[in-house]
Amino acid sequence: MTATPVLAGRALVAGYGGRPVLDGIDIELRPGEVLCLIGHNGAGKTTLVKALFGLVPLGAGEVQLDGRPLARPTPAALAAAGVAYVPEGRGIFPGLTVDETLRMAAWAACVPAAERGARLDWVLGILPRLREFGGRRAGTLSGGEQQMVSIGRALLGRPRCLLMDEPSIGLAPKLFQDLLRPIRALQQATGMSVLLVEQNVHEALKISDRVLAMKSGAIIREAAPAELADNARLMELY
Ligand code: ATP
């Protein structure tokens, strides 16, 4: 029997200005897996992740947590249930220092004041390089460093489910692995579930358990990463 998904979308329809992008999508994020969502530009990957996190209103369908439908899938409801979202483009405030960014995130994640220090140390233990630039304004960091801040911020709530939208944008493969390897290690140690949207498919598949390919607002294929190791197979999906 398959375990109840941590997070699921059922028959999701969503779009912009009355134009649907998602065309009745079903998706399940299972406990303790890294699920990689791939697909060409404009396929609807970001829209799907945003719909799951309550950032795009649903035209139809429902978002489920632990098998139960959410009456109102809002970012606040999902965050309170242990889901964290790392947006495409990092979404950090360039004028704040990294320390300020992380302290603000701890507050926003409702970490009790007495626990904030320990929680920050926990995140810095996972992403130790964050210690090197604590006093720097986030806007002065490189793309990869900013991405690390964005992921660190998402981890502060100790999520059981992490949604990441194209964390590799602008990063060399080595930097991508430096960034994602600690997340994979954390996921394996804690059983966290991760939904990873990626264009950098070869690198993403190295740390994924399952792959979904999207095209024109629909899921067109589910595969194990090994099935897509062959370039020709992968190209069929694009
Ligand atoms: P990419 O890999 O390029 O980020 P994607 O697969 O994440 O692409 P989406 O960003 O979900 O795709 O976009 C799906 C479709 O929705 C595209 O046609 C895009 O132009 C459109 N779209 C995305 N955001 C908006 C918006 N805010 N308003 C109107 N249309 C949008």
Q: Kindly tell me if the per-residue pLDDT of 174 is higher than 60.
A: yes
Would you kindly state where each structural domain of the chain is located, as residue ranges?
33-46+72-237
Confidence of residue 34 (pLDDT cuts 50, 70, 90): very high
pLDDT of residue 58: 95
Tens of pLDDT, residue by residue over 119-148, are 999 999 999 989 998 899 999 998 888 989
Task: Give me the mean pLDDT over the 195-208 stretch.
Answer: 90
Is the model's pLDDT at 1 over the cut of 60? no
This prediction's pTM = 0.93
Q: How far is the CA of 100 from the centre of ligand 1 (A)?
A: 31
| Cα(87)–Cα(173) distance, integer angstroms | 20
Kindly state the DSSP code that residue 90 receives in the 8-state scheme. -
Q: Which of 16, 50, 53 to mutate to test the pocket of ligand 1 (most atoms within 8 A of CB)?
A: 16
* H helical segments located in 31-162: 45-52, 75-80, 98-108, 116-126, 143-155
Task: Kindly tell me the burial class for residue 235, based on how many C-beta atoms sit within 10 Å of its own C-beta (0-12, 13-18, 19 or more).
Answer: exposed
Torsion on CA atoms 62, 65, 219, 226, rounded to nearest 10: 180
Q: Please give the distance of CA 122 from its chain centroid, rounded to a whole number.
A: 19
pLDDT tens column, 41-89: 999 999 999 999 999 999 999 999 999 999 889 999 999 999 999 998 7
Atom of ligand 1 nearest to the CA of 217: 14
* Superfamily of segment(s) 33-46+72-237: P-loop containing nucleotide triphosphate hydrolases (3.40.50.300)
CB of 39 sitting under 6 A from ligand 1: yes
- Ligand 1 pocket: which of 46, 90, 212, 238 to mutate (most atoms <8 Å of CB)? 46
